[in-house]
Amino acid sequence: MRALRAPVALTVLATTAALAMGACSAQTTGGGAGSPIVTSFYPIQFATQQVVGGTAEVTVLTRPGAEPHDLELAPQDIGGMTKARLVVYADGFQPAVDEAVGLVDGAKVLDVAGAARLVPASPSEGESADEHDDHAGHSHGADDPHFWLDPSRYAAVAEAISARLSKDDPSKASTYARNTAAFVEKLSQLDDEMRVGLAQCRTTQLVTSHGAFGYLAARYGLHQQGVTGISPEAEPSATALKAVSDLVSSAGVTTIYQETLVEPQFARTVAGSTGAKVATLDPIEGITSATQGSDYFEVMRSNLVTLREGQGCS
């Protein structure tokens, strides 16, 4: 299954690319100030909306509730990207977007991965870094993409979006600067709440299913151990499951976290063999009616409540 995926995806992309290019050459308008800003997935959409504050339309390629790592783009998505005022994405997270960006005028693309200061994900228990790289049909590359779960990295991304939009349209620079300052201030308040809330905990070992919380853990003094590694669909080896189970037992971990949008089977396997409970953390890759909160801030605070309970924080 895995071996088949990449060639199939490439064929589809090549076809859609040809369609998009045809559409593009037939219709050379678009991309002006009235065109939408196209964003790749929810955290980038939300940050961009906060920066523009209603002065521009912001669309998103990843539908709410869809697992973003595996995104497939329809021809109209790619057509929309080629006509956008600006495409904002993070390179290395969604292979379909990375490839489609190659069809867009480079002057109308902003990659926020640099601003997010991404670092390589630490391998899961019982797994080497090499195995990690070649997980699953899609790849994150070597870097952990989940920057928005650390409010300080997220703030840096918002500032990069603001700087770019201001350069493209200096007449709105003061509006963007004001909106961005307000957003960054809210992120700073959240950061303070997280730091205080996670300062005194019974255990600092954070056992998660797909390992999206590395930046959050690093920021607040926790140590993440992902059961499946960073790609949500990767299947952990028996060795990896055993290593995580041993850690859970030896470190006095009482709660294992599964994630919304991801099949919780592996978290349950480890919980079942150790007696730990399973709780749900949201990696905030999309907002749906099932999400514990209506936006990034509400879901982060919901995650904080879950973490304080699960880690035994006072």
Q: Which is nearer to Zn ion, 212 or 304 (CB)?
A: 212
Query: CA 165, CA 158: separation in Å to the nearest integer?
Result: 11
SS3 230: coil
Q: Which is nearer to Zn ion, 192 or 235 (CB)?
A: 235
Residues constituting the chain: 314
Nearest distance from residue 146's CB to Zn ion, in Å?
6
Nearest distance from residue 283's CB to Zn ion, in Å?
5
Q: Which is nearer to Zn ion, 90 or 155 (CB)?
A: 90
Query: CA 71, CA 96: separation in Å to the nearest integer?
Result: 6
Nearest distance from residue 211's CB to Zn ion, in Å?
8
* Rama region for 205: left / alpha / beta (φ>0; ψ in -120 to 50; rest): beta
Q: Which is nearer to Zn ion, 72 or 169 (CB)?
A: 72
Nearest distance from residue 109's CB to Zn ion, in Å?
22
**CA gyration radius, the chain:** 20
Nearest distance from residue 231's CB to Zn ion, in Å?
8
Q: Which is nearer to Zn ion, 273 or 306 (CB)?
A: 306
Nearest distance from residue 69's CB to Zn ion, in Å?
6
Cβ–Cβ under 8 Å, residues 42 and 284: yes
Q: Which is nearer to Zn ion, 176 or 266 (CB)?
A: 266
Query: CA 86, CA 90: separation in Å to the nearest integer?
Result: 13
Q: Count the site residues for Zn ion by CB under 5 A.
A: 1
Place of tokens 């995650």: 303
The backbone torsions φ and ψ at residue 14, rounded to the nearest 5 degrees and listed phi first, read -60, -40
Q: Which is nearer to Zn ion, 157 or 212 (CB)?
A: 212
Query: CA 254, CA 139: separation in Å to the nearest integer?
Result: 31
Q: 97: how many CB neighbours lie within 10 A of its CB?
A: 25
Binding to Zn ion in span 40-99, by CB under 5 A? none
Binding to Zn ion in span 272-311, by CB under 5 A? none
Cβ–Cβ under 8 Å, residues 36 and 57: yes
Q: Which is nearer to Zn ion, 97 or 212 (CB)?
A: 212
Q: Element (H or E) spanning 97, and its range? A: helix 95-101
Through-space distance between the first and last CA atoms of the chain, rounded to whole angstroms: 46
Nearest distance from residue 163's CB to Zn ion, in Å?
26
Nearest distance from residue 140's CB to Zn ion, in Å?
8
The residue of the chain with the least Cβ separation from Zn ion equals 212
Binding mask 196-235 toward Zn ion (x if CB under 5 A, else -) reads ----------------x-----------------------
Residue ranges with strand state E in the chain: 37-39, 58-60, 86-89, 109-111, 205-208, 223-226, 255-259, 277-281
Residue closest to 124 by CA, chosen among 221, 219, 204, 211: 211
Residues that bind Zn ion (CB under 5 A): 212
